Structure 1
Amino acid sequence: MLVSTDFVLRPYVPGDAPALVAAIVESTPTLAPWMPWATAQFSMSDALAWIASCEKGLADATCFEFAIFDRTSGVFVGGCGLNQINGLHGFCNLSYWVRQSWQRKGAASAAIRALTDYAWTELDVQRLEIVVAVGNDASLNTARKAGAFDEGIARKRLKLGRQWVDAHMLSLVKP
């Protein structure tokens, strides 16, 4: 479990599935353009499959995905993770999303800080990459505010649905 002033991050458990579904369905307008799987049809079986893959990734140490909760109320706020770990070259991807009703309340920034601390102390990585589709200004601004360095735009770096799109490549490096 990772704790910040206002938020708690912990590995997903099957009991999180209903809250995950509710958050995704609520947030389709803001998430779907950047996360095509985040649709109004996201179901309990989708959530349970995601959680099972997170549990397997944690057990195998191939990815570290966390649910984000408000520390005071316990409300499910979103998700974040360290994934696509490249042990040979010492880097991984850092990702985050926040449900629509909790956006602009510091959850993503807190998640970035907590995941960065976790990566530097628990993983053998020197670099975290945040890849943000061009046009996703909210996520880009969040990464920049968290201190990520914008290295530029990588052409056709992300696949959103069936379309390859350009993306900002941002990084945090171990001090």
Structure 2
Amino acid sequence: MQMLEQPVIVAGAFRLRPFQPSDIPAVRQASTDPYITQITTVPAQGTEAGYTAFIERQHRRVAEGSGYSFAIAETATDRAVGQIGLWLRNADHGRASIGYWIAPEHRRRGIAKHALAALGAWALEHPGIDRIELYVEPWNEGSWRAAEACGFQREGLLRSWEQVGTARRDMYMYSRLRAAPRA
């Protein structure tokens, strides 16, 4: 297994960086959103120990080679406002996937768009990664609009694709491809 190194990536007025203990307030806020806690490992209404364990899990992803988990932080203050990850489960097939969340008080500021554009471009520079996928529930218009603004194309509706909480949910499938080399 290849050892991964966690970079810091510039994303407009934000930067994608490794999680740190000072990011607990963002994780705590995310824990109040029932949807985030259903689709991620953020603990629902957790404890300080649970938030710390979440941050430690994000560091292990790089160490294990399963992907990169970034805190989305404001460049000016270094305050975390969300999370974005590049998951490498299918990298041996030339594919990676991206998932993200923005803490409730920071939504509707274009943060996801900045983070997704930066991580998408960075991911497609990796040798062997030719396709990035992401999955969005149809009701989550903010998320699918951010994906489309970053060059992801909707490929279709995957019916009953993912277990979210206690129900199977439909997901839109989006992808962004590496540009074909010029002849």
Shorter-chain TM-score tier? 0.7 to 0.9
Partner Cα separation in structure 2 for residue 43 and residue 83 of structure 1: 26
- Verify: 1:83 aligned to 2:76, yes or no: no
Native 8 Å contact 2:36 2:101 kept in 1:
no
Secondary structure, in 3 states, of the residue corresponding to 1:152? strand
Aligned match of 1:24:
30
**Does 2:57 correspond to 1:53?**
yes
Are 1:172 and 2:179 counterparts?
no
CA distance 1:49–1:34, change in 2 (3 Å): closer
Q: Give the alignment's Cα RMSD to 1 decimal.
A: 1.9
Matched, 1:141 2:148: no
CA contact (8 A) 1:68 1:80 kept: yes
* CA-CA distance at 1:106 after TM superposition: 1.6
Once residues 36 and 56 of structure 2 are traced to their aligned partners in structure 1, the CA distance between those partners, rounded to angstroms, is 23
What TM-score do the two structures reach when normalised by structure 2?
0.84
Distance 1:5 1:34, change over 3 A: closer
Question: When the two structures are superposed, what TM-score results if normalisation uses the length of structure 1?
Answer: 0.87
1:134–1:168 Cα contact (<8 Å) kept = yes
Count of matched residue pairs: 170
1:34 and 1:57 map into 2 onto residues whose CA distance is 19
Contact 1:34 1:133 in 2 (8 A): no
| Percent identity over paired residues | 28
Structure 1 unmatched runs, 5+: none
> Which range is displaced more, 52-61 or 162-171?
52-61
Contact 2:95 2:131 in 1 (8 A): yes
| Range with bigger deviation, 165-174 or 57-66 | 57-66
Instruction: Write the distance in 2 (CA, Å) between the matches of 1:122 and 1:53.
Output: 23
CA deviation after TM superposition for structure 1 residue 49, in Å: 1.9
Q: Distance in 1 between matches of 2:74 and 2:57?
A: 24
Letter in 2 for 1:33: Y
Q: Give the superposition deviation at 1:123.
A: 5.4
Which deviates the most, 67-76 or 162-171?
67-76
Match of 2:115 among 92, 96, 111: 111
Take 2:130 and 2:141, find their aligned partners in 1: how far apart are those partners? 26
Distance 1:67 1:34 in 2: 15
Of 23, 44, 47 in structure 1, the residue corresponding to residue 48 of structure 2 is 44
Letter in 2 for 1:17: I
Deviation at 1:94, TM superposition (A): 0.6
Q: How far off its partner does 1:140 sit?
A: 1.2
Give the unaligned 5+ runs of structure 2: 1-7
Report how far residue 149 of structure 1 moved: 0.3
Equivalence for 1:33? 35
**SS of structure 1 residue aligned to 2:171:** strand
